[in-house]
Amino acid sequence: MATIGLMFGLFAAIAAWLVVVVLRRRSSTTHNADGLLIEQASRIQAQRDRSAYSTLSMHNTMPTMSDQFRRP
């Protein structure tokens, strides 16, 4: 019985450690100039991709104008 308790205690300790690691990493931002420039370039590229591959530019119609979204 003590072995099972030890095993579950070890599982709980590992889970708590993983939660702490994930919470510490979650909202870390870059503070040096190189990292900020990389983040800015990624953000600009994502913005360009969203506008280049939007429904209007790909299909030349609004998203609710297709046959799937027509009301009876």
Which position has the higher pLDDT, 72 or 16?
16
- How many percent of the chain have pLDDT more than 90? 31
**pLDDT for residue 47:** 87
DSSP state of 6: H
Extents of the domains making up the chain: 36-66
Sequence-separated (6 or more) residues with CB below 8 Å from residue 16? none
**pLDDT for residue 51:** 77
Tell me how far apart the alpha carbons of residues 51 and 19 are, in angstroms, rounded to a whole number: 37
Given a contact cutoff of 8 angstroms between Cβ atoms, the answer to whether 28 and 34 are in contact is no
Structure tokens, 8: 């579950």
What digits encode the pLDDT tens for the residues 2-11?
A: 999 999 999 9
Structure tokens, 72: 């009876």
pLDDT bracket for residue 57 (50, 70, 90): low
pTM score: 0.40
Structure tokens, 13: 């300790």
